[in-house]
Amino acid sequence: MSPDIKNAFSAIPTIAGFEFQIYYYLKTLLSLKPEEEASLELHDDVALEDSEKISYFQLKHSITGKSKNLTNRDCDLWKTLHIWVKVIQSKGTLEDQKKWISKSKFVLITNKDTDHNDLIDLIRQYLKTDTDTEKKWNEIENYVSEQANKENSKGNGESQEDKPSKVTSYANTLDKFDLKRELLSSVEVITQSVEELFKEISDILRYSKHVSESRVSVLTEILFGRLIDSFKDTILKGMCSKFTGKSFDEHFGSIFRQYRCQKFITMPFPSIGTDLNKYFSSTFIKQLVDIGDYAVKDNNIVSTITQRLSFENDYNTSKQDISIDEQQAFEKDIHLNWENHFEHYNGCLSDESCEQDIKKSAKDILYQIRNSKVNFVGEVLNIESVYGCYYYFSDGDHPTIGWRSDWKEKYNGEDFRQNGL
């Protein structure tokens, strides 16, 4: 799919690159050992260090995705090498620089295809063999020198994006660097698409954090959101973000434990916005309106709708990890509790009962229901989930719960026992 960007000053590429960087940082954090530390925007885009070595990760993301090649004159590659050279040169004497490189690893992560990049091919061939190493190194040196002395013209077949003049300058920095052999011996270039990155995160959550497959996607979103939220105390104050294996567990470990152990998971729910008209035709709203309940008053309607939708979202996720028998037992308990209150408060009504009495009994039922404890496979639901639960079962084309004595006729309701409960 080609990008749909018509604004030359669009921030979409920047936003996409930032998200790619954060997800990679999240993946690194999820794999941390207790003695390791991962950081964002401290040593590099992302860095991973222990007592012996630091790995520096430059993240380069293109919105065209893997379908685009990392060309021989691609600015992403040459600028990255230029940056690393400058960092190394800031470390003191030549001997200090050499010592620093020996404790470092330099990794370029890109979502572009690197299979046809000549420099990367030469580096890979040089690193994977013990024979003809001098010959292979000379090929690298000659190639870098060739790129450094390339004419600064745009008539060499490269695209405008490759920016030949800048690439020549970046290549010249590397060509003149005394320790380029040591640097390029510590360089790795990895192609990773966004989809592959998500797959890695999912595998870590499933097989290392022992989170069930049905919850992995939601947990990934929650962790990403929590990580972004943590930036208010770091990135937004001009400081780097960093965690050790221990501090990451202190900040995020409870989330993993919740998603591993709890049967009923309450998940963040997006704002429903201000256009509420589409919800007013919902059966559960009609039922509340027809008894004059406070939940559909102007200042309560948004939270009422959110409770209903949130419960459905949470329930559909949570029931994937329980048996059919457990699900049916939960729903049966909900309906039997409702039925008990329904029969109690409507028992005094007759065909001649006035509208005022019908509404009063309905409100009494709902009041008691809202104050009921609801257990989901042994876990007590919070009060908002309880509200949302009863709204959920009182909704739809054929609700199985109602508040008025005449709810079945008014809302096309049906007996819950018809569903085999």
Burial group, residue 84, by CB count within 10 angstroms (0-12, 13-18, 19+): buried
pLDDT reported for residue 156: 47
Q: Which residue bears the tokens 């939220």?
A: 229
3-state secondary structure of 223: helix
* Residue closest to 100 by CA, chosen among 82, 114, 87: 87
C-alpha angle 296-218-39 in degrees, rounded to nearest 5: 125
Helix/strand/coil for 406: coil
Angle between helices 12-30 and 194-203 (to 10 degrees): 20
pLDDT of residue 4: 54
Q: How far apart are the first and last CA of the chain?
A: 48
Other CB atoms within a 10 A radius of the CB of residue 298 amount to 7
> How many angstroms separate the CA atoms of 102 and 85, rounded?
14
Contact 44, 135 (CB under 8 A): no
Instruction: Estimate to the nearest angstrom the gap between the alpha carbon of 328 and the chain centroid.
Output: 32
Distance CA 97, CA 174 (A): 14
What residue type is 54 in one-letter code? I
| Closest residue by Cα to residue 18 from 39, 34, 40, 42 | 40
Retrieve residue 141's tokens.
């040196």
Q: Single out the residue of 316, 331, 322, 305 nearest to residue 391, CA to CA.
A: 305
pLDDT at 358: 95
Structure confidence at residue 420 (pLDDT): 67
DSSP state of 39: E
Quick one: pLDDT at residue 309?
96
Spatial separation of the C-alpha atoms in residues 105 and 47, rounded to whole Å: 10
Yes or no: say if 407 and 287 are a contact pair by the CB < 8 Å rule.
yes
The Cα–Cα gap between 192 and 194 comes to 7
* 41-85 per-position pLDDT tens digit: 999 999 999 989 999 999 999 876 555 889 999 999 999 999 999
Tens place of pLDDT for every residue, the chain, 421 residues?
445 544 554 566 778 888 999 999 999 999 999 889 999 999 999 999 998 999 999 999 987 655 588 999 999 999 999 999 999 999 999 999 999 999 999 999 999 999 899 999 999 999 998 888 999 999 999 999 999 998 754 444 444 445 558 999 999 999 999 999 999 999 999 999 999 999 999 999 999 988 888 889 889 999 999 999 999 999 999 999 999 999 999 999 888 888 888 889 887 788 888 788 889 999 999 999 999 999 999 899 999 999 999 999 999 989 988 899 999 999 999 999 999 999 999 988 888 889 999 999 999 999 999 999 999 999 999 999 999 999 999 999 999 999 999 999 999 999 988 776 6
What per-residue confidence (pLDDT) applies to 252?
A: 92
Inter-CA distances, 247 with 35, 36, 219, 378, Å: 10, 10, 19, 32
Give pLDDT, residue 67.
53
Q: Cα-Cα-Cα-Cα dihedral of 68, 74, 77, 79, to 10°?
A: -140
pLDDT of residue 3: 52
Query: Is the Cα torsion angle 376, 379, 380, 383 positive or negative in sign?
Result: negative
User: Between β-strands 104-110 and 46-49, what pairing exists: parallel, antiparallel or unpaired?
Assistant: unpaired
Full-prediction pTM beyond 0.95?
A: no
CA distance linking residue 110 with residue 183, whole number of Å: 19
Report the alpha-carbon distance of residue 413 to residue 421 in Å, rounded.
15
Indicate the burial class of 21 (C-beta count within 10 angstroms; 0-12, 13-18, 19 or more): buried
For residue 129, CA distances in Å to 41, 133, 136, 179, 230 come to 34, 7, 9, 20, 44
By CB neighbour count within 10 A (0-12 exposed, 13-18 middle, 19+ buried), where does 294 fall? exposed
